Amino acid sequence: MQRFGQLIFFAACLLLCACEGTTFKSSVPVYPVRVKINMDLGEFVHFRNQVQGDYIEVHKDGFSYNGKWIYPLGDNAYGYGGVLVYVSVNGYDAYDLACPYCAGKGTCQTCTIDGIYAVCPHCGEQYDLASGTAMPQKKISKETLKRLSMMSSSNTITVSQ
């Protein structure tokens, strides 16, 4: 009976060791995200057409639609480096714009959008947005941009943590 107890203990230890390292923790800190985009308003009407490459950024300064700044709308929380909603091959994708490589070093560097890439102005990493993965292209970073939760209806996109 004592041998059986030792066997159970050993099996439990193996299971606990096997689970170690299976959860991923992003280098980008958790900051509140609350963005609601009503595509029945102003410039956002055009975003409903899902033209690949279109994007909306949300920062402390307000909204930007394809690089054109619009006044802030509503009470938004924009994550660590800003929020990006991008139209990729998957449809709408949402990311925190903080560079994970720089965030891991303790600085918040907000990526800028350059065509199909989000580019970190500090380290130069490029994240592929068009593919819907935000994978680093120069291999400076080992992480993708931090993906955010998103719900989309016919006229509203809601992004959260």
Q: pTM for this one?
A: 0.82
Residue-range domain boundaries for the chain: 2-160
Query: CA separation (Å) from 47 to 14, 62, 65, 86?
Result: 51, 17, 8, 10
| 3-class SS of residue 91 | strand
Residue 48 contacts residue 152 (beta carbons within 8 Å) = no
For residue range 40-94, list pLDDT tens digits in order: 888 788 888 889 999 999 988 888 899 888 876 667 899 999 999 999 998 999 9
Residue from 154, 151, 116, 152 nearest 135 by CA: 116
β partners of residue 135: 128
For residue range 99-112, list pLDDT tens digits in order: 999 999 998 999 99
For residue range 107-160, list pLDDT tens digits in order: 899 999 998 999 999 999 999 999 999 999 999 999 999 999 999 888 899 999
Residue 152 contacts residue 142 (beta carbons within 8 Å) = no
Architecture of domain 2-160: 3-layer Sandwich (2.102)
